[in-house]
Structure formats: C-alpha cells, structure tokens
Structure 1
Amino acid sequence: MDTATIGGVWHEVVGTQPHPAWWLVAVTGVAALAAVSVRSVWHVLRNVVTIAHEGGHAFAALITGRQLQGIRLHSDTSGVTVSRGKPHGPGMIVTAFAGYVTPPLLGLGAAALLAVGHITALLWASIVLLAAILVMVRNAYGVVSVVTTGAVVFAVSWFGSATVQAAFAYAFTWFLLLAGARPVVELQSKRSRGRAPDSDADQLARLTGMPGLLWVFGFGLVAVAALLAGGSWLLPDTMPQLPSW
C-alpha cells in the first residue's frame, strides 16, 4: 500500500460521510429487529453480542487493575473472561457489572458517531476493538468467531460502496442497541428456573449483598436507556410527511 493510498484511507476515516436516506435507516432498523427476534438468526448473531459482553468484562478488569488471564467464547454463544485479583471489592464489582451493559453502550457510542456522519470511522473503530479482543482470546472457536466478525467488517469498509457501508453501519448499530435487552431477558428467565446460579447478577449479589434481581433490572435499564437515546440519534430529522386529509 503506497503513501497516497494510506493518506486516502486516513482521510476517509477522519472525514465525515453524508447521512443516508430515511428509508435506509428505517429498513436497517427493521432488519436488526428481525435479527434479534428470529430465533435461528439470533442464535448466530448472538456471537457478536457475546464478543462485546466478554470484551466489556476484559476492559473493566484492565482499567480496575486486575490481571487479565484471557477470554473464551463457546459455540453455544456463552463466554467467560478470567482475571486475577482480589475476589471482592470495587474492581470485581465493576468487572462483573460491565458485561451486560457493554453491547448497548457500544451501540450508543456507534449511534453518536453516525449522528455526526462518521460512518467509516465507526467501521474502522470496530475493527480495532475486535483486534484488541482477539489478542485476549484463548480458544479456537473464539478466535474463529472474532476473526470472522472482523473480516466481515473489513470487507464492507474496504470493498463496499458508500451505500453498502452506510447500510451495514446502521444495521450493526441498530442491532447492538436492540440486542442489548434480549440477553437480559434470557438471563432472568434462566435465573427464575435456577439455571444460572453463577450469572453476573448472582455474582454481583454475592459481592454486594444486593438482590440479583436488582442487578438484572440495572442491566435492563441501561439497555432501554441506550436504545431510546441511540435510536433518537439514528432517526433522521426529516421524515416523509403523511398526506393531509
């Protein structure tokens, strides 16, 4: 890659792109909602949410001074992040809390970038974050999952037209915003049947003495708030007017 090409790529990354048509924003939102709602599609794409979830645990562990041991992602869309440090205290609480809130917060950040026209920057930021997570993954399925996700984002950012990039960026952002709530619902469903005794919420309950259900409510509150705020940023200012009768 020559200097001119590198300069062109950098100009695209730091520059802004025009906002897409209202119908593209609407269609990508509907597609993302379908992806979250249809069980077979959700089972595949939930891997993306798990990557973000475990990445959130890992980032929280690092910033709170814990020693990160690694991330493992599994084919059933579960995952685990192992860190070493005090088994109690603020650092452990922040680390345990970070998982479920990271996907919707990433969606909120992505919506903020799209609101100011940074479509290409969003795509490349996603690649950088995935590369950072890849370094921490410690099993084969996890490596394949992260590399595949990164390859898709790279292919869109490098080979896709402006319209394809915009459609992917908006669909990806809608998906993160909408997908933030479903794992929380699934978590409480498992907890109610006694199938998740070591869930993040139950770990937080043991760490703080506060009920696990309260922590589940906190996860859900963050997800809903991010969806409402991020969704309002994604929707265009000008929508088609309905005919007056």
Structure 2
Amino acid sequence: MNGNAIAKIILEQSKRAHVGHIGSALSIADLVAVLYGNILNIPSPDDGDRDRFILSKGHAVLAIYAALFLKGWISEEQLNTYCANGSLLGVHPEHELTGIDFSTGSLGQGLSLGVGAALAAKLDNSSRRIFVLISDAECNEGSLWEAIMFAAHHKLSNLIAIIDLNGQQAIGYTQDVLNLSPMRDRWQAMGWNVKEINGHDRAEIVQTINNLETTSGKPHVIIAKTIFGKGVSYMENQIKWHYFPMSDAEYQQALNEIATSVS
C-alpha cells in the first residue's frame, strides 16, 4: 500500500461524489498508507485483540475508506457508494462500517476516545495499541488537553497520537487562528514522549513508530509535518480545498500529477 494509491482513490471518489475535504485527506494519505500497510496489527477487523485506530479529524475519512478498500475489507461496490443516500460511507466515519472502530466528526473528541480505549487495554492486560490521528487545529480544543493530561497521569504508553501538522484549518492558517507553537514543548510539558517527523517520508514514519517503547510509562505523540493537498500543485497549502469540489479540468490535472509523483 502506498500514498499515491490512496491519493488516487481520494481524487476519484471526491470527483464522483462532487464533495470536498480533498486537501485534508491528501495530507494524511502517506501516514494512512504506512499505518494500514506496515504498522497496525489487525489480523481481521473483528479480532478482539487488534490494534485500534481512531481518525479524530473525521472529515479526512476518504483516505481511510481507500485503505479499507485496498485491504479488501470493503468492496469496490461499497466504495462507490461514498456520500450516496443510505450509505455507511459518509463524510465522517461511522463505526457500523467494517474496519471503523469509532465514529468521529466532532473535532477534538478523538483523543478522548483513544484514552478510554488505551485504558481499557491496560486493564485487560492486552498488548493492543491505540493509534489516534488528529489535526493540528484540533489542538485548539480544550477537551483534547484534558485527554492529554489524563493519558499522562495513567501512564498510557500503549497510546500513540499522530498530529497531522499541515498548518491550516477550515477558516485560515493555524498560526493565525490560534498559534500552537511550539507544539513539541506543549506536549512534552504534559508528560508525553514526543517525536517529530516528515509525515510524507515512509521510512521515517515506520522507523519512528517501530522504535516507540509501549511499556515506557509515557504516552507517545508523533508530530508529523505534512502538506495540505499533498501531490496536487494547485491544492497544496490552499485553504479553499478544505471544502471545494473539483471541476473536470482540475480533476484531470490532479490525477496526472498524482500519477507522476513519488510516494
């Protein structure tokens, strides 16, 4: 599984359904490809001791649908119902869909779900890990910081948060809406083990996660520097592509650029 394969599906399904959230999904395509291709221990979606994955930035779920399809957990027929009436494949994830552990969409809540799942695993003496992918803008939310403190207090070292640090959100650039810098220092001060990576470097993502010590007594956060709209030149770092759908010409250009990019 690679980021380009996921990006291609994101573009195809966004165009077919004529919906946005394209840039947000593209920014996590490489992270999702590595998680589902190399990291997550999920023998099957209903294995009770599987790793859990929570997409807190639920509006980017099209990247997850692409991964579920590439894993063979949902069919092409299901994938092609994205945003159709009565479909489980909406613009935010629903836990009724095979491969989705938690419904999300209300921003800032996913880490709280992850903390609960990590504490449950610890009480069960289970080796399963809990991964939560959050946006940098979600760090504006007070509920997230409550979860951060709770996780550190309970020494949830089986919890791995990944921040999609693409620097923007629906209404502007993150540093202008509510400046969160220095992100590393904030999480470290709360008692978390912090790593910073290039969120588009497959080898670095794999190595960083594989080297985490899940019995260290500290929860982990990986600050992944990403590019909003990665791989499509006219979308990269452009706020409008948080919502806008593509025209026919834009779609064809995006497909051409993804096809020739390296991932």
Fold similarity call, TM over 0.5: no
Larger Rg: 1
Structure number with higher helix proportion = 1
Structure number with higher strand proportion = 2
